[in-house]
Amino acid sequence: MNLQLLNKNINDINADIKVEFLTPDELALHVESDLLNKTGFKAEQDSTCFLHEKATLFCGLESKKADDVRAASVSAIKALKASNYVSAKLNILKNDSLTALVEGFVLGGYEFNDYKSKPKEISLKDIILASDNDEAKTIFDEALIVANATCFTRDIVNTAPQELNPQTLAELAEKLAKDNNLGCNILQEKDLEKENMGSMLAVGRASVHGSALIHLSYKPANPKKIISLVGKGLTYDSGGLSLKPATSMVTMKMDKAGACAVLGMIKAVSELKLNIEVHAFIGAVENMIGGNAYKPDDVLVSRSGTTIEVRNTDAEGRLVLADVLSYAQDTVKADRIFDFATLTGACMVALGQYTTGLMGHSHKLKHDLSKAATASGELMGSLPFNKHLKKLLKSEIADISNVASKPYGGAITAGMFLDNFIQDENKNKWMHFDIAGSAYTETPWDCNVYGGTGAGVRLMSHYLKNI
């Protein structure tokens, strides 16, 4: 589907059908109100009505706020794709909702059909937005970059594990670096051994695919800030010897969503040409079972020297991130360090399926990121660190245990585990994003269709663009 913006009057644009968004108040004053009332259309949020004889699709929305516009445009694209119309046109509502309009059409119309032998054919080819001002072009172009980066992220998340393993993820990162003129450094297992990454290496030990640390960098001249983005890249997570139940193992290709999001973020930043230096660090690992798998009761020595008692091999993401965070801090002196990980099911219990959990020490940074989340249309909730929960990570035989001694507050104790590997001078620069619930869905919601959502890309693109 081709989405474009033209600086033309809508009447001068040729298309098969016109799309109109109406609130209930606007419906009452519309020239076609009588006919629309006869169809039962009440302009309720996300409702649609075709008047084929008028070559118009009407879409209801509660208000002209961005969240409502985004949701209504998702309904519009679904209705258009289900029809046989080849092209559609519409007036943009206003510049401050143009981003939401683009996201609704691009993200709501997203499909992943790589494994379908006969994908359903869609007649719709072109959607043309009509605008009468020059400012809209910049907003449109930036929104399209971020939406496409989100779809790029979704594609990687949705790729099956037999195709995407730590090594092929590294190859994908190398291709992105080449296409977007990024710096690229890949650390293979022999390099990880030299870096003393005993924690990360243990997790991937039973896999036939070697683990890798991926470092991409975007370096404009005279950047205003330096940002490090760290992603958990478990290309598949069986749970290891603490094997997941069969039903829980399905969808575990999404355990790489943090890494995929970080790739989408640096792609967006480089294409937006932001004046910010960005480094993406990814721990690419596969957690499998075998005779050489790491075990509960093992004691691992992390890159920082901290020893870790393993009490559950399914709490593996934090073991990978412990070493990657240590490496990232020693490699780049960043103004901000953000890690993204599908870390805990407990985060979904705390905040629900759709909301990202935010953890860290700086209240100001939490506030700024929460504002960015709201503005970008992503849902995020803050979970507070608690010194009493920290005691639950105590180990009798090592410096720290990889799981808490009690099941309560599991998302927070996982975040506090990572905090042990954040250097003191970086405590107020670091934030942890638990995207376990928000990164993947089997039930479409808002602009998210089945599969990977690309959680974090829109949020971080908005934050970095306005930093």
pLDDT at 391: 96
User: DSSP of 23-43, one letter per residue?
Assistant: -HHHHHHSTTHHHHHHHT---
Distance of CA 112 to the CA centre of its chain: 16
* pTM greater than 0.85: yes
Rounded Cα–Cα distance for residues 20 and 27 (Å): 11
- SS3 call for 51: strand
Model confidence pLDDT, tens digit, residues 57-109: 999 999 999 999 999 999 999 999 999 999 999 999 788 899 999 999 999 99
Model confidence pLDDT, tens digit, residues 345-383: 999 999 999 999 999 999 999 999 999 999 999 999 999
**Max Cα distance, the chain (Å):** 77
In eight-state DSSP terms, residue 253 is: G
Q: Would you give per-residue pLDDT tens digits along the chain (467 residues)?
A: 899 999 999 999 999 999 999 999 999 999 999 999 999 999 999 999 999 999 999 999 999 999 999 999 999 999 999 999 999 999 997 888 999 999 999 999 999 999 999 999 999 999 999 998 888 999 999 999 999 999 999 999 999 999 999 999 999 999 999 999 999 999 999 999 999 999 999 999 999 999 999 999 999 999 999 999 999 999 999 999 999 999 999 999 999 999 999 999 999 999 999 999 999 999 999 999 999 999 999 999 999 999 999 999 999 999 999 999 999 999 999 999 999 999 999 999 999 999 999 999 999 999 999 999 999 999 999 999 999 999 999 999 999 999 999 999 999 999 999 999 999 999 999 999 999 999 999 999 999 999 999 999 999 999 999 98
Model confidence pLDDT, tens digit, residues 125-134: 999 999 988 8
Which of the residues 244, 366, 390, 465 is marked catalytic?
244
Segments of 245-348 assigned E as strands: 277-287, 299-301, 307-309, 336-341
In eight-state DSSP terms, residue 95 is: G
Token pair belonging to 140: 């449109």
Instruction: Determine whether 154 is an active site residue.
Output: no
- SS3 call for 65: coil
Instruction: Determine whether 336 is an active site residue.
Output: no
Which of the residues 318, 336, 429, 458 is marked catalytic?
318
pLDDT at 94: 82
Rounded Cα–Cα distance for residues 292 and 264 (Å): 34
Rounded Cα–Cα distance for residues 456 and 56 (Å): 35
